[in-house]
A and B are shown apart, each in its own frame.
Chain A
Amino acid sequence: MAEKVLMKGNEALGEAALRAGCRHFFGYPITPQTELSAYLSKNMPKVGGTFLQAESEVAAINMVLGAGATGVRAMTSSSSPGISLKSEGISYLAGSDVPCVIINVQRGGPGLGSIQPSQADYWQATKATGHGDFQLLVFAPSTVQEMADYVSIAFDTAEKYRVPAMILSDGMMGQMMEPVCFPDNAEVKMVEKPWAACGHENKRPHNIVNSLFIEAQELEKIVVERYKRYETIKANEQRAESYLTEDADIVLVAYGASSRVARSAVDAAREMGIKAGLVRPITLWPFPVNALEATVATAKQYLVVEMSMGQMVEDVQLVIGRRKPVSFYGRTGGIIPTPEEVLEQIKKLAGKEA
């Protein structure tokens, strides 16, 4: 097993990108993803790759579109306001079936908001990253180790389905340090990309990487085909961690930074004799319906914890429906809830139940 190193989450994302065979990074400065760009500006040239600081987020995502269209592994990173700017390009990437990885190290919003950690871009990531009918693969790591692990998973999955992938992180995950272990000589699985626009070398008809289909019938056909791929993704790619859910009366649902807080609160509740558990979505799209569904028979109620005014809670409600009560607790604007605050919520719910 490889040696453990102490790294910031943002740096781990950068190192993982290099190890995943990403040699093309296009970015624009923004807090709190700074360490990622800094890491790649230093280390990308050492492996003969391209680190390019673009003139804008808009340009950076379109550079990803160009590089990705040739078939290479391309990545960009930003934080919330920057992702809004990238949304045009993300829609084109999705509409052109160009795989890539987009990092969002979320901060408080809306507008310029704050630079503290937030999870208020859940809707943007999972429902409306740009105009048109499309989805992104969305991964939500909750440790620095997962920040490292999910970069190559994101590239692999994006390429498998020709769907852009996002790693939805936040300022806490990006800036905190934890031990992380990179596997020795991990194999990079580069898939064939016969669709890539990289020069036909007079050996095949020209490839066109394109999102324009002026005939409505043709566009509908292409979108419907893409949604069939989405159905396959929903069936095969859901990921979640279930913690102490088997006998839990109160099941918390939280991802990323807030899932760490929720886990501490679950442990504290258990010490008090309250049977709490946690479902931690790792993929936010596809939403891990199966992991939640597995708890419905035994759970008495749900508590969704987010660093927002309540966004993922709607997806939990969609799965649970009226079968069990679903409550929400959130802090926003860059505030990280404390385990004590969450424990208070659990205690209240347990009290109601009694």
Chain B
Amino acid sequence: MAVVFEKPHALTDAPFHYCPGCTHGIVHRLVAEVLDELGVEGNAVGVASVGCSVFSYNYFNCDMVQAPHGRAQAVATGIKRAKPQDVVFTYQGDGDLAAIGTCETVHAATRGENITVIFINNAIYGMTGGQMAPTSLPGQITQTTPYGRDVAQAGYPIRMCEMLSTLDGVALAQRCTVDNVKHVNETKKAIKKAFQNQLDGKGYSIVEVVSTCPTNWGLSPADAIKWMQDNMLPYYPLGVYKDTAKSCAPTAEGGAEA
């Protein structure tokens, strides 16, 4: 029988535990496709972070290290400094990267640590059952903001790509999403660039993927995509916030690479 579609080699055969409609599956596949296409699975080391994606160590076929909550980029720093020839990436959610791990994120970025960071922003803590995330939107109802996120009390959501783009050590800061084929293709291109930057020794690259959490948002997969488009994308505009390969001002939808 002719093979017309295969899973990437860089994904194991383990079935994903992710909920229906969760975008982790798409992004896992994109990362794995890039590892395959660049031929780097054999010298890649991934860092799994605490959150829904912690089990990514079972899904990626490359060597994996599981980090404490928020510390993925410090762990990745240790790996990269010990094995500079390895291709080192982290895969982190918003709570991990932008709340408990903000310090490690900012300093890995400003050191220009030559690593690739995949950042899943779905505005909620998924694994623990839907608490307010650092990226939860104003007014967003979560388990710990049952009356909606009151910015006077809980503060404002944090925009990581914008913040990190001010740092000299950052080679690439790009925000993408995977709500349609065009955007999936753009996200893959961004992820590939983020890995290629590491191979080229350009420094820190982060690809933020604005994502969904149908389960904890209490929406169907289709409605979750719509909610993300209507509510998250206005607050988190897609685009290339920094790319040292070109001079770029922050751009709207699709960015300079679209």
Q: A55-B104, A70-B45, A206-B62 are in contact. Are A62 and B82 (CB under 8 A)?
A: no
Q: Complex Cα distance A66/B57, Å? A: 14
Are B64's CB and A197's CB within 8 A?
yes
Which residues B212-226 have CB closer than 8 A to chain A? Answer: none
Q: Complex Cα distance A200/B76, Å? A: 17
Stretch at the interface among B67-75, B156-164, B239-247: B67-75
Nearest-neighbour CB distance to chain A for B54, whole angstroms, equals 6
Nearest-neighbour CB distance to chain A for B23, whole angstroms, equals 22
Are A70's CB and B82's CB within 8 A?
yes
B61 partner residues in chain A, CB cutoff 8 A: 206
Max chain B CB contacts within 10 Å: which of A24, A62, A203?
A: A62
Q: Is B251 an interface residue (CB 8 A)?
A: no
Which residues B54-91 have CB closer than 8 A to chain A? Answer: 54, 57-58, 60-68, 71, 74-83, 85-87
Q: Is B103 an interface residue (CB 8 A)?
A: yes
Q: Is A50 an interface residue (CB 8 A)?
A: yes
Are A202's CB and B41's CB within 8 A?
yes
Q: Complex Cα distance A252/B128, Å? A: 52
Are B86's CB and A198's CB within 8 A?
yes
- Output the nearest chain B residue to A202 by Cβ-Cβ distance: B42
Q: Interface residues of B toward A: which range?
A: 35 or more
Are B75's CB and A50's CB within 8 A?
no
Q: Complex Cα distance A210/B50, Å? A: 11
Q: A59-B107, A70-B79, A197-B79 are in contact. Are A211 and B66 (CB under 8 A)?
A: yes
Q: Complex Cα distance A212/B76, Å? A: 18
Q: A202-B42, A211-B66 are in contact. Are A66 and B104 (CB under 8 A)?
A: no
Q: Is B44 an interface residue (CB 8 A)?
A: yes
Max chain A CB contacts within 10 Å: which of B61, B65, B76, B107?
A: B65
Q: Is B231 an interface residue (CB 8 A)?
A: no
Max chain B CB contacts within 10 Å: which of A24, A63, A202?
A: A63
Stretch at the interface among A88-96, A238-246, A280-288: A88-96
A338 partner residues in chain B, CB cutoff 8 A: none
A202 partner residues in chain B, CB cutoff 8 A: 41-42
Are A96's CB and B104's CB within 8 A?
no
Q: Is A248 an interface residue (CB 8 A)?
A: no
Nearest-neighbour CB distance to chain B for A216, whole angstroms, equals 17
Q: Is A56 an interface residue (CB 8 A)?
A: yes
What is B's interface to A at a CB cutoff of 8 Å? 12, 41-45, 47-48, 54, 57-58, 60-68, 71, 74-83, 85-87, 103-104, 106-107
A to B CB contacts below 8 Å, 29 in the list: A24-B78, A26-B78, A50-B81, A52-B81, A58-B71, A62-B68, A62-B74, A62-B78, A63-B74, A65-B68, A66-B74, A66-B76, A66-B82, A67-B82, A70-B45, A70-B83, A74-B78, A89-B71, A92-B68, A197-B63, A198-B45, A199-B87, A201-B43, A202-B41, A202-B42, A208-B63, A208-B64, A209-B64, A212-B66
What is A's interface to B at a CB cutoff of 8 Å? 24, 26, 50, 52, 54-56, 58-60, 62-72, 74, 88-89, 92, 96, 196-203, 206-212
